Amino acid sequence: MTVQERGIIFDVDGTLLDSMPLWEHAGERYLQQLGIAAEPHLGKKLFAMTMQEGAQYLQQQYGLSASLQQIIDGIHAILCDGYWHTIPAKPGAVQFCHRLFARGLCMTVATSNDRAPVEAALQRLGLLSCISRIFTCSEVGLGKSHPYIYLQAAHFMQLRPEQIWVFEDALHALRTAKAAGFVTVGIYDETSKEDAAEIKQIADYYMEGFPSSIEDMF
């Protein structure tokens, strides 16, 4: 199989971007802005909730007078600021993508995040020029428990699933891509370390970090 007959689908958060710490601690930072000390391990508690559930928890637990929407907007502003200004790429991710781009591989993104912050971060880090198209779960209408977002990317690249490598840090996303026939690459992230053993079993390849060379892969 030649390089031109292969494609890449990258997840963003926890894969290309070291953004999960921001998500985990956004609630704490919101409370800090209000001069309120957060309880220990608040981030881990909120991380398992939806944004609505997390806002409701903060409102009730800390007696906030702000409405749920105001709390959500405040947390969202913290997250957006991170994507526009501070979130770093995962170590080696930028160099890895540019090496793939130089080899002529078509690269797309499949993300559960919104388009605007993802584009802002990728542009700031010099990655957007390597990506042919961004697919978001909200725009395709299904999350990563369903393979539709990956299949849409495959259709765009005019490649079959077995010709495409999907890079993901989340166990459920790797399961979905694997079941749909894609070549799967598990990427280590601190927030998914408890799933690392299972990810290693499911994924076709597993990487603690991005390699300095792509010669052994492509």
Domain end call among 86, 110, 141 = 86
Alpha helices per DSSP H over 82-208: 93-102, 115-124, 137-140, 148-157, 171-179, 196-202
Q: What is the side-by-side strand order in the sheet with 183-187?
A: 133-136, 106-111, 7-10, 164-168, 183-187, 205-207
Asked whether residue 81 is assigned to any structural domain, the reply reads: yes
Task: Please name the residue ranges forming H helices in 83-170.
Answer: 93-102, 115-124, 137-140, 148-157
The answer to whether 185 and 207 are in contact (CB under 8 A) is yes
* Whether residue 175 sits in one domain with residue 79: no
DSSP state of 160: -
Q: Is the residue at 216 inside a domain? A: no
Any domain includes 39: yes
pLDDT score for 216:
61
**In-domain check, residue 178:** yes
Task: Tell me if residue 185 falls in helix, strand or coil.
Answer: strand
Examine residue 218 and state whether it is found in any structural domain, yes or no.
no
Do residues 82 and 92 both lie within one domain?
A: no
Question: Is residue 109 domain-shared with residue 164, that is, in the same domain?
Answer: yes
Among 201, 195, 196, residue whose Cα is nearest residue 178: 201
Partners of residue 7 on adjacent β-strands = 106, 164
Lookup: tokens for 131:
């990506």
Is residue 67 domain-shared with residue 165, that is, in the same domain? Answer: no
Which domain covers residue 30, as residue numbers?
20-86
Q: Looking at the structure, do residues 130 and 202 belong to the same domain, yes or no?
A: yes
What confidence score (pLDDT) does residue 24 get?
87
Q: Return d(Cα 155, Cα 139) in angstroms, integer.
A: 16
When divided into structural domains, the chain yields a total of: 2
Chunk the chain into consecutive blocks of 10 residues (it has 218) and report each block's average pLDDT, rounded to whole numbers: 78 96 92 94 80 91 95 93 96 95 95 92 97 94 93 97 96 96 96 92 94 72
- Do 81 and 94 sit in the same domain of this protein? no
State residue 75's pLDDT score: 93
pLDDT at 33: 95
